[in-house]
Structure 1
Amino acid sequence: MRLLLPCLLVLAPAAADAQTAPAAPAAAIAPAPAFEARAKELTTLLTDLAGYDGFFSPSFRAAIPRDKFEPLRASLVEANGPVTGVRVDTMTSPWLGTLEIDYRDAVAMATMVVDSAAPHQVSGLRITSVASRVSSIDAVSAALRALHGNTGFALAKLGAGAPRLLASHQPDRPFAIGSAFKLIILAELVRATNAGERKWDDMVTLDGSELPGGGYTMKPRGAQVSLRELATQMISISDNSATDILLRTLGRERVEAMLPVVGVKDPARNRPFLGTLEMFKLKGIEANDLAGRWLAADEAGRRALLDGEVAKTPMLLIRPTLFRDGKPVRIEQIEWFLSPADLVRVMDWLRRNTEEPKGADARAVLSKNPGITPAAAGKWQWVGYKGGSEPGVMNMTLLLAAKTGDWYVLTGSWNDPAQAVSELRFAGLISRAAELAAP
């Protein structure tokens, strides 16, 4: 499972730090003529890489060679249509500014750094957001329906009773949701802290158990970390090591018990509730047909596999190309499965159970990474977010507080077991939906 940060797609090194100017009103800073010239050239470069070496500085090309840049450039065009123009938006210094890149179907925001010394090559380029041009929620829904594979979508208004769907497409169909499953773990932590069974400042002592990639993989045995920090890392940057530590600490059975509590219609499909490393092993270890035996087993047999062979098989046996080759792997069989309507109910439960002051920690965790473009997030008073992806899987789920005081949930999923999905295209559509849905 890859880390998903839809509103921070890095196309190039962040080379801007050394050229940050003192704070000043953006309107008071004009771009250097060479900066404007490079901005105009970017339209051509994003269409044809023939001028790549002359456009980018040696340090940029060393970090992002042409053969690595090209797939990123092509994915933007595939998702959003051809580039039609580039405009300078605001400047931090004469050599550092933000750009609006017009595609046929979307507008991308980018940060660009140009060397102040001749020949004034571009030393940094970062796409910070991509927003679709669709003009209505119905148009978003239609665009989602037109994507390959299967998609689901729901926009719901929350209140004292059950959520009220305002727009939807296949809201009751279960989809693989990637790292959005971590919302269930967060829900159990909210329940436990609300009940006084745990405190957000409780410390967890690492026991040296094998962990998937993340910030805690190399921490020594005996190191301590708070539940608050683990939850923050799990939700805000989808840290898989933090996730597995929390799942082990809170208890698999307690997390499973939350599935019906938060409104998941078919909790049995997500039992046993997998940790991330367990899922990686089932998908990525070919020896002894772990996946085949998992799929053939009943729930009791699957629990025995997790506690026995899966736990004992070293992660070094996971094939190194897992997820890196862009090919979906058993996404209809080994994953976490929730429908858009399930995710609406999950977010509604989190809203209801974080309303008192004791819910401030959970809301801080949920809102650290808004997941959508700044323009879309700016339409709302508060944004909570979790999403997830792997090849063939994409989910984005938002809990939104309107400036009027009303609450909403927006969620979308895209699955295709035959090919990868375009994260850029999907993120642009969901961000645009969030912008359009604001009262």
Structure 2
Amino acid sequence: MGVALATGTPLAAQEAPAPAPEAQAVTASPELRQRAEALAAAITGNIPYDRYFAPSFRAAIPEAAFRQVRDQLTGGLGKPTRLEALVVRTPHVADFRLGFERGTAVGQIVVDPAAPHLVTGLRITGSEPREASEASIQAVVEAIRALPGATGFALARLEDGGPVPLAAHDPAMPLAIGSTFKLVILAELVRATRAGKRGWDDMVTLDGNPLPGGGYTGKPAGTRVSLRELATQMISVSDNSATDILLRALGRDKVEAMLPVIGIHDARGRNVPFLGTLEAFKLKGVEGGALGRQWEAADVAGRRALLDGAVAQAPVSAIPPSLFQDGKPIRIATVEWFASADDLLRVMDWLRRNTEGPAGAEARAVLSKNPGIAPAHAARWGWVGYKGGSEPGVINMTLLMRAKSGGWVAMAGSWNNPQAAIDEARFVGLINKAAALAAP
């Protein structure tokens, strides 16, 4: 559960060299300019894959994977049209802006200095629909409102008395938020460390219990890992195995107790019991969703019994490998984590207030490791914290941003569509534009 295209698509088969010193005049090589100008044709497939990308790139990014990212981009932005800008970093590396029918994409291209000068690295770092290219915040809000399904958005200035609204659309409506739920677990860790009950260097010993996919799934029982590392992986790369380990270590009951403390107004109790990721996958996938149907019919006590019984006993192998692969939303109104945009602003405000000073440095480092928005937009701010989440039919992006002048702003946007997969590239572009426009 993670947001595609939020900070870059997986089209990077080679790290870019460091930028040249600013004092040095850098000119694009003819090969770099030629490849950059042909990028639109390469994306549409008018240039054969093996005649544009180097073998090292093709080995890391098979053509089928490239097509998936391409289809996601073109689904939201239309066909690529032309190279609109090229900023040279070295003779063979440049940042670019590529025009599409309905928007633009920015990224970086790396060309092999050796003949035949094929592309060894390509990274898309952000995309933006043209409807927002010259928009005000309100125009972005209206574009979000027009998306099919249910949407919510809130932007607020954070002051001593709480969030002060700047722009909003259905900000009080609870929606599924995907992996953004991990902010609640982070909040409990912040509370526990502030209270002296936990330390960032405290170690957790893996017990061999089943885990969802992630960096700790194959680790043997007895492996020790710090709370800091688990939190960093949970927030920065949305590692599901780290999340479930941390949820167990901190305690489900304590995480649930944090919901009202940090400002999540859950009148219908849909976040209790508070699910781990593997539990959610089992409820959605085992036996065609049979466990999910039991979950929907049960009260809180019955749901707890279900988690402790049939869900815990179901093997990981019972989750179909094809789960989520067809792009169809699965029980996003019942087996999920829920919050309104206003809820998420309150969560970020709580994290802001409870990480002030040197004692909060660890938590802020965790929260800001992945800024969630394109580097050019993040650079407009003095500091950016982020968590997002997605699955078929669900996307959320939630940001905490400090202006270079010192003021704080929070922003959250969600889009749910139980009928179809959502256009992640379009939504990410809108949130990126809002973050850029909100900067002082």
Q: Same fold (TM over 0.5)?
A: yes
1:106 aligns with 2:103: yes
Note the alpha carbon deviations across 1:166-186, whole angstroms, 9 max, x for none. 110010111100000001111
Q: Number of residues paired by the alignment?
A: 436
Question: Equivalent residue for 2:91?
Answer: 94
Question: Equivalent residue for 2:34?
Answer: 37
For 2:368, give the aligned amino acid.
S
1:220 aligns with 2:220: yes
1:243 aligns with 2:243: yes
Shift of 1:246: 0.8
Question: For 2:84 and 2:390, how far apart are their aligned partners in 1?
Answer: 31
Question: For 2:354 and 2:84, how far apart are their aligned partners in 1?
Answer: 45
Q: Percent identity?
A: 59
Question: For 1:3 and 1:131, how far apart are their aligned partners in 2?
Answer: 15
1:52 aligns with 2:49: yes
* Contact 1:26 1:92 (8 Å CA) reproduced: no
**Which stretch of structure 1 is more off in the superposition, 69-78 or 175-184?**
69-78
**Which stretch of structure 1 is more off in the superposition, 95-104 or 183-192?**
95-104
* Contact 2:244 2:278 (8 Å CA) reproduced: yes
For 2:408, give the aligned amino acid.
W
1:180 aligns with 2:200: no
CA RMSD, aligned part only? Answer: 1.9
Q: Give the gaps of 5 or more residues in structure 1.
A: none
Question: For 1:16 and 1:345, how far apart are their aligned partners in 2?
Answer: 38
1:138 aligns with 2:142: no
Note the alpha carbon deviations across 1:75-119, whole angstroms, 9 max, x for none. 212212332321453334322222211224433222222222333
Shift of 1:370: 0.4
* Contact 1:5 1:237 (8 Å CA) reproduced: no
Question: 1:392-411 alignment to 2 at 5 Å?
Answer: 392-411=393-412
Shift of 1:16: 4.3
* Contact 1:400 1:409 (8 Å CA) reproduced: yes
Q: Secondary structure at the match of 2:10?
A: coil
Shift of 1:2: 4.1
1:255 aligns with 2:255: yes
Aligned in 2, Cα 1:297/1:373: closer, same or farther, shift over 3 Å? same
Note the alpha carbon deviations across 1:137-161, whole angstroms, 9 max, x for none. 0111111112111111000111111
Aligned in 2, Cα 1:128/1:359: closer, same or farther, shift over 3 Å? same
Shift of 1:288: 8.4
TM-score w.r.t. structure 2 length?
0.94
Question: Equivalent residue for 1:291?
Answer: 292
Question: For 1:196 and 1:50, how far apart are their aligned partners in 2?
Answer: 60
Note the alpha carbon deviations across 1:186-231, whole angstroms, 9 max, x for none. 1111111111111111111111111111111112211111111111
Question: For 1:283 and 1:277, how far apart are their aligned partners in 2?
Answer: 10
Note the alpha carbon deviations across 1:48-71, whole angstroms, 9 max, x for none. 435434222344344444444333
Aligned in 2, Cα 1:250/1:379: closer, same or farther, shift over 3 Å? same
Question: For 1:425 and 1:26, how far apart are their aligned partners in 2?
Answer: 37
1:201 aligns with 2:218: no
Shift of 1:245: 0.7
Q: Secondary structure at the match of 2:37?
A: helix
Shift of 1:386: 0.4
Question: For 2:34 and 2:4, how far apart are their aligned partners in 1?
Answer: 33
Q: Give the gaps of 5 or more residues in structure 2.
A: none
Aligned in 2, Cα 1:403/1:59: closer, same or farther, shift over 3 Å? closer
Shift of 1:27: 5.7
Question: For 1:233 and 1:212, how far apart are their aligned partners in 2?
Answer: 14
Question: For 2:408 and 2:221, how far apart are their aligned partners in 1?
Answer: 43
Question: For 1:255 and 1:22, how far apart are their aligned partners in 2?
Answer: 44
Note the alpha carbon deviations across 1:302-356, whole angstroms, 9 max, x for none. 0011111111111111011111221111111110010001101111111111113
Aligned in 2, Cα 1:250/1:4: closer, same or farther, shift over 3 Å? farther
* Contact 2:211 2:217 (8 Å CA) reproduced: yes
Shift of 1:287: 6.3
